Structure 1
Amino acid sequence: MQNINGQLSEEKVFKDPVHRYIHVRDTLIWELIGTREFQRLRRIRQLGTTFFTFHGAEHSRFNHSLGVYEIMRRIIEVFQGRPHWDNNERLLCLSAALLHDVGHGPFSHSFEKVFNTDHEEWTREIILGETEINQVLRKMGEDFPQKVADVIEKTYSNKLVVSLISSQIDADRMDYLQRDAYFTGVSYGHFDMERILRVMRPMEDQAVIKQSGMHAVEDYIMSRYQMYWQVYFHPVTRSAEVILSKILMRTKHLYEAGYEFKQEPVHFYSLFNEKKSIEDYLRLDEAIILYYFQIWQEEDDRILRDLCGRFLNRRLFKYVEFNPNLQMKEWPILYQLFHEAGIDPEYYLVVDSSSDLPYDFYRPGEEEERLPIHLQMPNGKIRELSRESDVVEAISGKKRTDHKLYFPFDFLEDETENATIKQKIKAILFK
């Protein structure tokens, strides 16, 4: 091997089911892949609880991170020698693409909600803290870790570089849509990525798409729309997430109440006490979480025992459509009836909402400004995508929200106790 800024003596390849091969030629990238923090991503699933719904969805954030790196590598090949592209940014782009998800925790989004933590903040901590990743990045220069963190945080001065990893059409989205479609076995997430990459062009602030590639981009946006509603927001997956969240909430509540666990949750202590260290965080992966769930099936606490058994053995909550804005009067009635039936509504009656905006045009002043996709017309002028595409215009700016009410139907079916109350509950839920 040569120095960290150089090339490997021989190219390394990863066989990949989505991109066929992932090519690594840079010493820097190869060393980053070998760090303990990056290898930890093998033990974190990309799609959290989705494997309960689509049994093939066992792929990891390690798979995805390599895929984002590979797409970024191919984009850079297309950009080489073109105006507005500075090849000095190449290793920065590749590093940011590889490391953009390194801060994800186990079952990420449920985990973050309960413990009030953020994977983006942890990504920054891992890149800038006392870690193997930081040591490798600093071989490129003392300021290089900060540059990588800035790209991922979208604060880096070169907006073109930021857009390649964080925009409405970027390396991250292009990988996860195809990868998640492949591993879930659905047909929605497929689009002609090769075509999109061929017609991407660097501009001052973002990559644009040649107008001749517009239909490939339409396909990409529709595949994203379908994946969100058919896969990411699938109600069965959300049921598993609800139970997972409630297990973590119950554990935290019991700890704060002084409950004596048969298996002490030592890996959670720093999160419970809000004294979060990188070392403690990196020790948490999905194998550790599932180990605790397995053990907690034997705890004295009835709720924790039940919820862990449900999660591990896929005895999920049933769901009905429930819009809290339109059914506000029913909520307190149901809550009270659950109490009377001896079913704790804090853990067994849950409204879960999902929403997505498939594509948005520029809205200045909004809290999260979305950089729209721009087309480069044959005359060189730039046009925003929804002004040229009827398909995209039809869904632009249209936020769709879905509400479900989750509950343990098996508890309601068991009428050996509180039969009359349970019948009242079912009458409301299934009217």
Structure 2
Amino acid sequence: MMAICGIDFGTSNSTAGCMVNDQPTLLPLEADKSTIPSALFYDFEEESVYTGRAAIQGYLSGSEGRLLRSLKSVLGTSLMDATTEIFNRPFTFRQILATFFNDLKQRAEASTGQPLTQVVLGRPVHFVDDDAKADRLAQDTLESIARDAGFRDIGFQFEPIAAAFDYEQQVEKEELALIVDIGGGTSDFSLIRLSPDRHHQLDRMADILGNAGVHIGGTDFDRLLSLAEVMPLLGLGGRLAHKDAPVPSSYYHQLATWHTINFLYDRKVKRELSEVLSEVADRARFQRLVRLVEERAGHQLAIAVEQAKIEACDTGHADVALDMIESELRLNFELATLEAAIADAVQSIDQTVEAILRQAGVSPSQVTTLFFTGGASGIPSLRHAVLGRFAHAKLVDGDRFGSVGTGLVIDASRRYR
């Protein structure tokens, strides 16, 4: 049994698990932690690679190098075959993603004490929205990486279905559950009938009434908050002094998006920024952007914005230092500011809930349970939008970072037993 595992390779965090004493168990991957940030840090000084929390710490310690996060977001996109310079040579994003995945597998094997050869991998309902070919390419690429890492048998399961299998362990009677999985990169939904009588069945297709998803998640909330509240401090929305034109916005969008931050460190982009600086009306604010790029502090800023989002959701208010931009500069706002910044994204997610109900031919009153999981499922306005449709449904909060991984282990044990 221990050769069988489930892996949730997430946009922000990843897990791996196996059956232990007939129980689905997430493995310790970094010290005693069952989650590991999906991050790599290429340390230029040591010419070494760090993963997970060590990667983030290596970057924050000030070591010269390259931090990469949100790796899953490039699957199915043209960036997959693009290259970036690391250790003075080109690396494709496929190579970078494989480096993290291989390390994840090795950590799982170190926990079990033996090779892992059979796996069920989680996947969003859509890797790429409205593009079946790109979506298939994303899964094929991940499967190829898993096979190169040493897995012999590889299956896939929609992440919200996996979360449903985790929840079903505690179900005492038949329920019609809407699984709400708001992750780092996508928001995914499944409508599924759950029952203790069918818990051990391999084929559950008759119980699945619908699946839907949209490529919006926690990293998008970070991006939208950053664009609304932080990037204006760096000159976004400003004007060029001698032209009737705005300051180019592409730099700010790259800086606000986890997996494109490193593109700003290209020599050509740095030259462009110097040229724009000579033309902007508000030189002081744009100089902040230039200095941030020169100091390669983009990920420090992204981490601060992410922290501010979490703090606002937890306490209703955020007050976070932005010393990486300028000494004593702070980001200070109320929860309502975050909710205004992400309102359109929340509406798109809510429309996806409406779509899955139409697809399944189910009315909100027929749904008995709402099961929330995913690292971004705690956004108050998002929860309010979803809950507003289901006044009589039971609300269950799963393990935000572990329900999908646990369900993948259950699925793997059924498939490969």
State the TM-score, normalized to the length of structure 2: 0.28
Q: Which has the higher contact order (CA 8 A, sep 6+)?
A: 2
Structure with the higher helix share, 1 or 2: 1
The structure carrying a bigger strand percent of its residues is 2
Calculate the TM-score normalised by the size of structure 1. 0.27
